[in-house]
Amino acid sequence: MIAATDQRSALEEARRYLVGGVNSPVRAFRHIGGEPLLLHRAKGAEVEDVQGRRFLDFIAGWGAILLGHNPPAVVDALRRRADAGVLLGLTHPAEAELARLITEAVPSVEQVRFTVSGTEADLTAARLAMGITGRRAVLAFDGCYHGHAVLAPEVIRVPYNDPAALEAALQRHGQQLACVIVEPVAANMGVVPPEPGFLARVRDLTSRQGILLVFDEVVTGFRLGAGGAQGSLGVTPDLTVFGKIIGGGLPIGAVGGPRRLLQRLAPEGDVYHGGTFAGHPLSMAAGIAALRELAAHPPYESLERRSGRLADGLLRESRAHGVSLRVNRAGSMLTVFFADRPVRNEADAKASRRDRFAQWARALLAQGILVPPSPFEALFLTTAHTDEHVERLIRASGEAFQSWHE
């Protein structure tokens, strides 16, 4: 265990050896005019930095944590797996077990191919769609994030929640499109739920032209329910991309879908995908433990209630202090937009008051509450968050709003 140390010296060392002192840009805290926070332990709903300061955490591993930090079932499974071997290099039974748990929860999935990250899974889904259709273009939506890789030789983009723009793009490019890929609930322009009927329209239009529909459920899979966003929204994709929660806090990604489509992947088919760390034993063990726990004790009703309470409380405080604020929420994930109109796409999100968000996030940090250091990320609740944690965030926000008028 790392001993408590000076934040400044630790940060200087990080900046010396890491680009920007981080390994993922949002961790740099530049969106809110801050500096990277160096953490070294976590438990439940709290994280602790290198100075020993504790923070109530609403980042939750960027959504990968649903059972709180270091849940006993996951930690125990990791210890047992590590004792038996960290990397085996060949297939082991846990891979099939985790895949079975996913297929049992998500009706559209009959088989699974594991990857190491959501980015890799998105790329694999796009390659699979191109192999199946013989087409080389992909359509994606502005503000939806599908990793940092280039998905296809041609990527066409249209606004999210705009069926007319989608229809026009399909009329023009439909014969070249292998797939349409979408976050069924956007979470990387901030949380932006689909407008009523939008996803059903996407499904209808793609089906008519033989274009595969890919749901990127890296964030929403097993967070909005055991069946993911597709289960709660009632729209069935052709392929689904998973990540985050299915790894129980360890690196993972997966592509899932009907057997007739997944069979096009090597070694059964001609679309190649492979990787040394695909199906890593530790990720499989952690994922199995997490999904078993979720199946045995479904948390979704309580998370929905607590998340709704948080959204209502933030809106109440904003009205009390004359702050223009919108809370976009889907289940246990939400984003606070400082805006005076609804946020339904990337343009609306970018038009929000990012300076106000930065003020709010810094004020919370000073009170020991950690929210994503970007206005385009989501706050996440876990089963470790309590009603008192929610009330603490609401009160701290009210104090921040009040200070803006003093």
Which of 142, 145, 160, 238 is an active site residue?
145
Distance between start and end Cα atoms, the chain: 43
The helix/strand/coil state of 112 is strand
Which residue is catalytic, options 57, 216, 238, 348?
216
The residues with which 216 forms a beta bridge, in sequence order, are 241
Residue 43 is a catalytic residue:
no
Tokens of 233: 């929204």
Among residues 143, 140, 141, 164, the alpha carbon closest in space to that of 351 is found at 143
The distance from CA 34 to its chain's CA centroid, rounded to whole angstroms, is 23
Q: Which helix (H) or strand (E) holds 328?
A: strand 326-330
Q: Is 216 a catalytic residue?
A: yes
Cis peptide before 267 (omega within 30 of 0): yes
Q: Which of 160, 238, 244, 348 is catalytic?
A: 244
Distance CA 81, CA 1 (A): 21
d(CA 116, CA 394): 36
DSSP-derived 3-state class of residue 81:
helix
- Three-class DSSP category at 383: coil
Quick check: helix, strand or coil at residue 140? strand
d(CA 322, CA 296): 44
Name which of 352, 353, 370 is nearest 361 in CA terms: 370
Q: What is the bridge-based pairing of β-strands 177-182 and 137-141?
A: parallel
Beta-carbon contacts of residue 341 (< 8 Å; ≥ 6 apart): 326, 348
User: Which amino acid is it at 95?
Assistant: E
Q: Which residues are catalytic?
A: 145, 216, 244
